[in-house]
Structure 1
Amino acid sequence: MCLSFQNKYAFLKKVDSLESRSTKWECEKLEAVGDELDENGNRRTETLELWKRNPVECIKELMGNPEFHEHMKYAPEHLYCDPEGKQQLYENMSTGDWWWRMQENLPKGATIAPVILASDKTSLSRFSGDKSAWPVYLSIGNIDKSIRRKLSMHATVLIGYLPVSKLECFSKQHRALEGYCLFHRCMRALLAPLIAAGRNGVDMVCADGLVRRVYPILAAYIADHPEQCLIACCRENLCPKCCVARDQRGGTMRWPMRSVTEVCSILEAASQGASPVNFEKWGLRAVNPFWKDLPHADIFHSLTPDILHQLHKGVFKDHIVLWATACTEGGKLEVDRRFRAMPKHPELRHFKKGISLVSQWTGTEYKNMKKVFLGVLSGGAEEAVTRAVRAVLDFIYYAHFEVHSDDSLKQLEDAWNTFHRFKHVFVHLGIRSEFNIPKIHLMQHYVTSIRELGTADGYSTEGPECLYIEFAKMAYNFSNKKGYTSQMATWLQRQKAARRQDDYICWATAQDQITESQEDDDFDDGKSDSEPEDEQSPQASHKAPSQAEEEEQLANGFKIAKKPAYARAKVFELVKDFGAVDFTRCLEDRLHQLAGPSSRRRTGNMSLIIENSSVAVYTQFKVKLPHIPQVSLIPKTTMDTIHAHPAQAATAAHFSMVLAYDPASNHSTDSENPPGRHSRNSLTRAYALSEAMCYTAGISLDHATLPLVYVKWFTPFNTHDRVNGLYTLSRSTCQHRRFASIIPITDIICSCHLIPVWGTSMDRTWMSDTVVELCKKFYFNSYLRHHDFVEFQYLVDRDEL
């Protein structure tokens, strides 16, 4: 192959030579002198290694990366959702108030690079061992948050590994404090280049090719609660952002934010042996903070909301679930029964053993449990308990919005106030005696943080935790497990060099292809422009029919297989296997409707369909969910699968619940109502049928090109439960028979999920596969997806206000 290297050593030398233009790793030796004495009577010392990269150089690489050209902001902006400019929108950091305030404090023409830091200690060993790493990540708020969240875009970079040590050279009583001091000492050394750059600015070549004077300023720090307290130099039983009293964290009173100047003066006085009054009151620790010299930085405003640890794991899982379960009649056993009997849905995890026996929870389990928890609780607990749980769930869902307006922020704050209005029921029932819980108190800072720095989804700790896979665990696996930090840094350096080389090759190849294409356009091959293309040539048929059909389907909002699962299913088989008892009548009504009013006069009372008539039956299809900015900023095709599977030998039947337009509402003329907001949306059980059945009666319907769906209707969305706020519905019947009809596939909006109305105690005969048939009344689950929450909770509540 004529390689330029002959062995591994020579190959790695080649790779190392590729990284000449990027930021190099450096190792700084730190010495910790303890208070323990060795056998010679001398103080014990420990040498620690801080591996770091220059953060300013990393910011230069991010600012100048041409891949981010379309996703960069160089100045703050104001967005509004109304022509009058009364409803402000908050999404990326550029829409927040912090950037506008910083811009006024800097020289005219200055460009701010809002620095976003993240850190968290993680374990590297598997099953046993104490190997750990403490990575520190950096990104900038100029890059769109949707790009920052994509690991493949490498918009968040690793800038250092903090030393992890047990500090055995110190006595136990001083070991914890010295660990705090070591963290701030390392962070101060790591971020030292930001001091001069933040004060004077640095000329940088940006992604658009222009040179700007850039001021990198610490704007946000992503961390969980223990590390936030470590950063803020306070104890973990207090708020790291405000001056709330230790016994007042469970209230709604607003407390002033901590002041950087005041806290630094208190810490300096404490280090000199003084005893400031607020030192103990604010729960401070006597350390030298790394952020005191960073220009224009306010660390207390920079600590961002943590949806994963504060809301999902902390407030919801560790507190609300335990309290509400204890308040439910029947306790854990009743809650587990309801989780086991919950109807299934493809986007919902089924807890087949309940939730009390789950020993190890992840973020996925938290999210799936909260999708149905309000429905599980309804009927089994007091009204105040249900209202308190609903308020917490509403707060979590509002906090997930990717775009906030003044209205949605008001709803977010109202949910927080509603919880505090009903939380005392847990005291009355003897579940709690007080609510001095830091994570519950931190909920009051969400609105302020969103207005300052943009929506909370851009600062989730889920991102840094996913980065552990590449920057910590994979790098550790490629080391020999001894002196692994230096080997991890070297491995990451080589990985980046290979990635940059690969990007360059792709770019160069694309440029060559563009040049060749231009040359081909200039070359005259002798063919006349008017000469028709050969119909049998590959150029004329390069697009397969199936691809064209798929594009046409997506344009209509659905996607279905080319071949049906049952090509020639008999009508009596649909009645027997699919339970479509009124299929014949519904199909005849549909055929008469499509053929026109004169068709009934021609056929009279003659039946158009016989039991041996054949139709093609599909067992699933997909519909495109509408784009909702609160759910996703970037318009993307999100497909929702609709199932209609008959019972098999080892599996039960599965028919999806779907949200569909009621034909009686004449929805085709109502173009102003978006999907999901129609005045007569109804819930149905869906059976997907193909267009072939339109031809079995011998009637030619050229315009009937869309597949049809046989549905059994539920009652429309007219009433909702006054306690949990969920819409209630039941089966729609006519003369004691289920009301059914056949509708076009384009009338299907999306799949949905129903929660049975359990009552005080659940019927023990109900099971997950049979509860839909046995139960008579249901709740529409508006917490299944964020799409459903926006349509059936946020917009409804906003309109009522």
Structure 2
Amino acid sequence: MLEDVAGGDYQPFWVGFPLTDIHKCIAPDILHQLYQGVLKHLVYWVQHVMGKKELDERIQKLPPTSGVRHFSKGISGLSQLSGTEHKNIARILLGCLVGKIDPRGITACRAILHFIQLAQYSSHDQDTLQYMKQELDTWHSHRDYFIHEGARENFDLPKFHSLLHYVDSIRWIGTTDNSNTEAFERLHIDFAKEGWRASNKKDHFRQMITFLSRQEKVASYDFYQSWIQKSEDIDIPGEDEEDVLFSPPSSKNSSNSSTVISIAKNPSVRQKKLSTIALLHNAPGFSGTLKLFLNDLLPKDERLSKANTMAQILPFSSLDVWHSFKLTPLRVLEEDPEKVSIKSQPLSSSSSTSRQDTVLVLETDKAQSTAVRGWITYQKYLAVADNILS
């Protein structure tokens, strides 16, 4: 039994390699170190300072918004929080502290949240790495607030210590998306949960191994069959070999990459007057903005000046209106990205509250690594979302 116990004193495999620094091989892990570790501790301390009930009430009162989960019952009753739930908590936590926690505590929380966001950048330069150092220094300068409030006695926590090595690790082995274990969390379902469900719950380990082995064989056979089928469909190149090799891709293969926005077939409201749209959607400049939008769609030699465009009369007085559309982000990992729902829903008999999601539109490729320079907001064109939805 003693031989099977982990944590024994064994001679490590790198002994004898003088140029090996094993500490540099310990890569950052955004999921388990930051979200499931640092942020988890931070939420506990905040709950201790302001009270679980108070924090839950503030979270419940937040309006629903796109891309953020609405915790209608708060967060204190949740158990075994997932990484996705911690991400949603990180998006709303700071706004719930205003007026209830001392500014030093808010500054400390903000520094940690900023550090978590900066650590996830897919590319870094000296400026962004310096931002990470500054946020970490801010955290160290204000973290004693939680000690004074009795939430902690010290900060001797390994996951908080790991923050000190993030900048050096990024310089040494690259950005954290190369070492984040979140990409492989899906394998828990494929390799463990499905095998467990397929077993009879008795001597389950052997059954799970057999299940996985059979799944791999089926997958390999399917791949072989698709390869054979594909080989049979391809003509042997002859004199027209160059035309075959350089033929353009079919629309069937390229449609998935171009389909980013999806919208319902039928509108939410048919033929709504422009004046009603401006009133209910809180967009007083909607008609003028719509004129400028339509003018930009014309060829350059046919476009009018801004003054002439605003003086024109629209050939219609009403529009079909959609209250929502779905946006599919670009695929980064192998799995299909989750669709994001964007809503611009006014007050109605069926809804007592309106919802106007903020939309950021890429206007130029000169966006900075931080802030939103190079982006225009929902307010700049007075309801860009309404133009899209209408």
User: How does the TM-score come out when normalised to structure 1?
Assistant: 0.39
**Residue number in structure 1 paired with 2:379:** 683
> How far apart, in 1, do the equivalents of 2:262 and 2:199 lie?
47
Task: Judge conservation of contact 2:263–2:325 (CA < 8 Å) in 1.
Answer: yes
Q: CA deviation at 1:389?
A: 0.8
CA RMSD of aligned residues (A): 4.3
Alignment of 1:212-611 (within 5 A): 230=7, 287-289=9-11, 291=13, 299-317=22-40, 319-328=41-50, 331-463=51-183, 465-515=185-235, 518=237, 564-571=267-274, 573-574=276-277, 577-580=280-283, 583=286, 596=305, 597=307, 608=313
**Residue number in structure 2 paired with 1:643:** 343
Q: CA deviation at 1:350?
A: 0.7
> How far apart, in 1, do the equivalents of 2:309 and 2:285 lie?
20
Q: CA deviation at 1:586?
A: 6.1
| Aligned partner of 2:366 among 673, 680, 685 | 673
In structure 2, relative to structure 1, the CA distance for the partners of 1:677 and 1:624 (3 Å cut) is farther
**Residue number in structure 2 paired with 1:613:** 317
Alignment deviations for residues 26-48 of structure 1 (CA, whole Å, 9 cap, x no partner): xxxxxx4xxxxxxxxxxxxxxxx
Q: CA deviation at 1:571?
A: 3.8
In structure 2, relative to structure 1, the CA distance for the partners of 1:463 and 1:674 (3 Å cut) is closer
In structure 2, relative to structure 1, the CA distance for the partners of 1:354 and 1:481 (3 Å cut) is closer
Q: CA deviation at 1:413?
A: 2.8
In structure 2, relative to structure 1, the CA distance for the partners of 1:494 and 1:417 (3 Å cut) is same
User: How does the TM-score come out when normalised to structure 2?
Assistant: 0.74
In structure 2, relative to structure 1, the CA distance for the partners of 1:482 and 1:621 (3 Å cut) is closer
> How far apart, in 2, do the equivalents of 1:598 and 1:459 lie?
56
**Residue number in structure 2 paired with 1:264:** none
In structure 2, relative to structure 1, the CA distance for the partners of 1:289 and 1:648 (3 Å cut) is farther
Q: CA deviation at 1:502?
A: 1.6
Alignment deviations for residues 204-238 of structure 1 (CA, whole Å, 9 cap, x no partner): xxxxxxxxxxxxxxxxxxxxxxxxxx4xx5xxxxx
Q: CA deviation at 1:592?
A: 9.5
SS in 2 for 1:616: strand
In structure 2, relative to structure 1, the CA distance for the partners of 1:619 and 1:595 (3 Å cut) is farther
Q: CA deviation at 1:369?
A: 0.3
In structure 2, relative to structure 1, the CA distance for the partners of 1:474 and 1:431 (3 Å cut) is closer
Q: CA deviation at 1:417?
A: 2.2
> How far apart, in 2, do the equivalents of 1:421 and 1:449 lie?
23
Alignment of 1:16-31 (within 5 A): none
> How far apart, in 2, do the equivalents of 1:311 and 1:501 lie?
40
Task: Judge conservation of contact 1:644–1:687 (CA < 8 Å) in 2.
Answer: no
> How far apart, in 1, do the equivalents of 2:310 and 2:288 lie?
13
In structure 2, relative to structure 1, the CA distance for the partners of 1:477 and 1:291 (3 Å cut) is farther
> How far apart, in 2, do the equivalents of 1:389 and 1:503 lie?
50
In structure 2, relative to structure 1, the CA distance for the partners of 1:308 and 1:294 (3 Å cut) is farther
The structure that is strand-richer by fraction is 1
The structure that is helix-richer by fraction is 2
Q: Does the alignment pair 1:659 with 2:360?
A: yes
Q: CA deviation at 1:570?
A: 2.9
Matched to 1:646, the amino acid is P
Q: CA deviation at 1:403?
A: 2.9
Task: Judge conservation of contact 1:403–1:633 (CA < 8 Å) in 2.
Answer: no
Task: Judge conservation of contact 2:67–2:341 (CA < 8 Å) in 1.
Answer: no
In structure 2, relative to structure 1, the CA distance for the partners of 1:579 and 1:393 (3 Å cut) is closer
Alignment deviations for residues 479-505 of structure 1 (CA, whole Å, 9 cap, x no partner): 343333333333322222222222122
> How far apart, in 2, do the equivalents of 1:575 and 1:405 lie?
44
**Residue number in structure 2 paired with 1:146:** none
Percent identical among aligned pairs is 31
> How far apart, in 1, do the equivalents of 2:189 and 2:197 lie?
10
Task: Judge conservation of contact 1:644–1:686 (CA < 8 Å) in 2.
Answer: no
**Residue number in structure 2 paired with 1:166:** none
Task: Judge conservation of contact 1:571–1:613 (CA < 8 Å) in 2.
Answer: yes
Which is worse superposed, 403-412 or 505-514?
403-412
> How far apart, in 2, do the equivalents of 1:582 and 1:324 lie?
42
In structure 2, relative to structure 1, the CA distance for the partners of 1:348 and 1:292 (3 Å cut) is same
Matched to 2:43, the amino acid is V
Alignment deviations for residues 717-758 of structure 1 (CA, whole Å, 9 cap, x no partner): xxxxxxxxxxxxxxxxxxxxxxxxxxxx9xxxxxxxxxxxxx
> How far apart, in 1, do the equivalents of 2:193 and 2:292 lie?
62
Matched to 2:322, the amino acid is Y
Q: CA deviation at 1:365?
A: 1.4
Task: Judge conservation of contact 2:30–2:180 (CA < 8 Å) in 1.
Answer: yes
SS in 1 for 2:272: strand
**Residue number in structure 1 paired with 2:4:** 182
> How far apart, in 1, do the equivalents of 2:36 and 2:222 lie?
40
Matched to 2:346, the amino acid is P
Matched to 2:272, the amino acid is A
SS in 1 for 2:177: helix
Task: Judge conservation of contact 1:314–1:439 (CA < 8 Å) in 2.
Answer: yes
Alignment of 1:608-757 (within 5 A): 608=313, 613-621=317-325, 641-651=341-351, 652-659=353-360, 673-674=366-367, 676-678=372-374, 683=379, 686=383, 688=385, 708=387
